[in-house]
Amino acid sequence: MRNLMIGRHMFMDPTRMTIEVLYLLTVLVLCFLIYHKTKNAYELTKHKGINHFRNAFFFFGFAYVFRFVFLLIMLSGLAFDFQLPRYLLPEISLALMGYLSTMAIFSLVLSVIWKKVNYIYALFTAQAIAIVLSIIAMLTRSQHILSLIQLMLLIVVIVLSYFYHKRSKKFTRLFTIYILTFVVWIISMASIRPPRAIFGEFRIILYLISVTVFFVILHKVKRMIK
């Protein structure tokens, strides 16, 4: 059965466990730093677009928090030799991570179109769609439908960003940040279940690229709010 989370066999390898822990902690710190930097900018300007953008990394951060919690649960199961509810845990994990990542993407959408929509209606719609998608992913035990819809949403973000901000002085930086966020999401999806034949090496390469992209996003955010 396919699921969203890391295969159990990974936890038998101390090196892979260490890499996974370091990666998740690094990404969590970077998400927090991006959220913190944009929080300061929002408090100074009260710009709603900035607020929605920072919310995206709030949800991204929590998605990685949950992935880290799942890692700890798996490690505890191995350490204390107790059986995890395999029939339930993967489905719950898929649903929660699906909801959080979908809300992160919708936050990016709102950061671009906030002037064009009613916030309460848009938020309600985003919550409803995120919940429905997470339930569908949980019931089907597959991330493919979820990933496809999220991919389309990210493409919408990039297209809207181009049309709404192409005349802005900060267009290049904004557009680059959205492209980088798209890259991070693709890497995150790919790193969940890479081809088994190149499992270790492929995962490490994806993690290095992902961390590098997060650093670049943080750097560009710092430059934008100066």
13 in a structural domain: yes
215 in a structural domain: yes
158 in a structural domain: yes
Number of domains the chain contains: 1
Average pLDDT over all residues of the chain: 76
Element (H, E) at 195: none
Q: What is the CATH number of the domain that holds 168?
A: 1.20.1070
> Helices 14-45 and 199-224 sit at what angle, rounded to 10 degrees?
20
pLDDT, position 26: 92
Which residues make Cβ contacts (< 8 Å) with residue 147, sequence separation at least 6? 189
- Nearest-angstrom CA–CA distance, 1 and 89: 12
Q: How many CA atoms lie within 13 A of 63 on its CB side?
A: 26
pLDDT, position 135: 87
pTM: 0.78
Whether the CB-CB separation of 192 and 6 falls below 8 Å is answered with yes
Phi, psi for 209 (deg, rounded to 5): -65, -45
3 in a structural domain: no
Residues of the chain with pLDDT under 50: 1-7, 194-198
pLDDT, position 140: 80
pLDDT, position 117: 81
Q: Which domain holds residue 151?
A: 8-224
Whether the CB-CB separation of 137 and 146 falls below 8 Å is answered with yes
Angle, alpha carbons 122-126-127 (nearest 5°): 120
Element (H, E) at 33: helix 14-45
- Nearest-angstrom CA–CA distance, 217 and 158: 15
